[in-house]
Structure 1
Amino acid sequence: MRSKNKGPVVQRREQVDGTTTDQRLLDSRGPTDWVHADPWRVLRIQAEFVEGFGSLADLGPAVCVFGSARTPADHPSYAQGEELGRKLVDAGFAVMTGGGPGAMEAANKGACEAGGLSVGLGIELPFESGLNEWCDVGINFRYFFVRKTMFVKYSQGFVVLPGGLGTLDELFEALTLVQTQKVTAFPVVLIGTAYWSGLLGWLRDTVLADGKISAADLDRLVVTDDVDEAVALMTAAQAEGS
């Protein structure tokens, strides 16, 4: 059965439309009457911020876990995600993900089964059908930029499992905010040395070598295969910031 979450609304079968709210906001093609409609969209954007702030204000210490929605349940990264979710809960953190399948589901599952708080912040997409079943608290957003604000505002750090473009987007968003001092004491840990070594090599040998970033920017990234090390770094950062 076709299904799509559109903010708080669920569409099924013939009611599923083929566009997203972000797409309609950013698409400047077509009739110019969008000029008159955009100011009213501010109210919807405001409502998403209010809903997110209100739902997450009492969340407590939390860590965001990112990773591919395409990670199958029998993949080693899925098992790592479950272990990570469980150990973050044991360390006193809530676990927050994008709420989707794959690596996100794994982290939510580990957190939920460990008896901790498992949070999913979903996004309206034409090819995903809502939050995974392991989210104890779930919010569906229409706008990526609102969702990103929630990830950064209500987490003490990011742990990043192997992923694709969406995962890279969140990774570099965090690094940019740290580099520009929009956020402080915000650790970013990549799990999977074999997966991430090519990216780190390019950043070091090309981007850094050409003077586009500083060595300190690279130092902000920790790459490991050890889930315990990732959790320890989150715990140390929380202690430092408290």
Structure 2
Amino acid sequence: MSDRPDAQSPDRPGDVAHDLARPVKRKGPTFLRDKQVDLSTTDQRLLDSRGSSDWVHTDPWRVLRIQAEFVEGFGALAELGPAIAVFGSSRTPRDDPYYAQGVALGAALAREGFAVITGGGPGAMEAANRGAAEAGGVSVGLGIELPFEEGVNDFVNLGVNFRYFFARKTMFVKYSQGFVVMPGGMGTFDELFEAVTLVQTRKVTSFPVVLVGVDYWTGLLDWLRGTVLGEGKISQTDVDMLQLTDDVDEAVAIMAAAR
């Protein structure tokens, strides 16, 4: 999941004149533009219990669509090989130091033999995809239907678009051997804490989680250690799952050591 950008980037590769006011939306494999764009999402329609009882008749068909998303995702990624998921904000501009760090991270992971999996959006996700692609690696984007994003960025060389968040999240967990988390907002927090929760509850075998950005993440870790751990809401091993660094090479070494 990505954090909503304030505006679409006007200098996306391949665009001659990108109109910021022109609505564009990807809906699974479908591409919508201008008046064809609707403001709701498939997840929203699935989870919204308000309205008529038509859902009784339509939900069985939704199950088939959900099944198709899993089949398509598994089919596209089954032979991916070792891969690392990189999370981070879609709002990170290209002139931000964290963007440059994301490019370096993606390239270093690719040189280590990892595919790089992101949410496929702009910002930090684009940076990691860019680094992986420019280093000759496999650059994966798992896009999601949102009212305010166009789909995967132009540096993705293997992309899958999803309607349902839960299907997409399954692909991240199933095909990633570790998570690297760049600075981000609500979407990044969701991905980070879901990964840690899956390890904590032993729903998945342990894998490394590295936070890149000491200045950005230190406050969160201090709160976890001081307040949450201090009140007994988590254990020390939960906090120890999160490794913090500013060094791209260190982050990649941690991923490589966990193979």
- TM-score norm. by structure 1 comes to 0.97
Structure 2: state its 5+ residue gaps: 1-21
Alignment counterpart, residue 142 of structure 1, candidates 158, 163, 168: 163
- 8 Å contact kept, 1:185–1:237: no
CA distance in 2, matches of 1:126, 1:210: 40
SS at match of 2:258: helix
Q: Aligned-pair distance for 1:166? A: 0.5
- 8 Å contact kept, 1:95–1:119: yes
In the other structure, the counterpart of 2:96 is: 75
Tell me the alpha carbon deviations over residues 61-95 of structure 1, each in whole angstroms, 9 at most, x when there is no partner. Answer: 00000000000000011001000000001111000
In the other structure, the counterpart of 1:50 is: 71
CA distance in 2, matches of 1:163, 1:39: 36
Q: Given residue 101 of structure 2, which amino acid in structure 1 is its aligned partner?
A: Q
Q: Aligned-pair distance for 1:184? A: 1.4
- TM-score norm. by structure 2 comes to 0.91
Q: Is 1:113 aligned with 2:140?
A: no
Q: Given residue 113 of structure 2, which amino acid in structure 1 is its aligned partner?
A: G
Q: 5 Å matches for 1:105-184?
A: 105-184=126-205
Alignment counterpart, residue 10 of structure 1, candidates 31, 38, 41: 31
Q: Aligned-pair distance for 1:117? A: 0.5
CA distance in 1, matches of 2:218, 2:148: 30
| Greater helix fraction, Structure 1 or Structure 2 | 1
CA distance in 2, matches of 1:213, 1:201: 13
Q: Given residue 108 of structure 2, which amino acid in structure 1 is its aligned partner?
A: K
Q: 5 Å matches for 1:183-194?
A: 183-194=204-215
Tell me the alpha carbon deviations over residues 96-151 of structure 1, each in whole angstroms, 9 at most, x when there is no partner. Answer: 10000000000000000000000000000001111100000111100000000000
Q: Aligned-pair distance for 1:51? A: 0.2
CA-based RMSD? 0.6
CA distance in 2, matches of 1:130, 1:41: 22
**Count of aligned pairs:** 238
Q: Aligned-pair distance for 1:185? A: 3.1
In the other structure, the counterpart of 2:234 is: 213
In the other structure, the counterpart of 1:230 is: 251
In the other structure, the counterpart of 2:114 is: 93
Q: What percent of counterpart residues are identical?
A: 73
Q: Aligned-pair distance for 1:36? A: 2.2
SS at match of 1:150: helix
Q: Aligned-pair distance for 1:35? A: 2.2
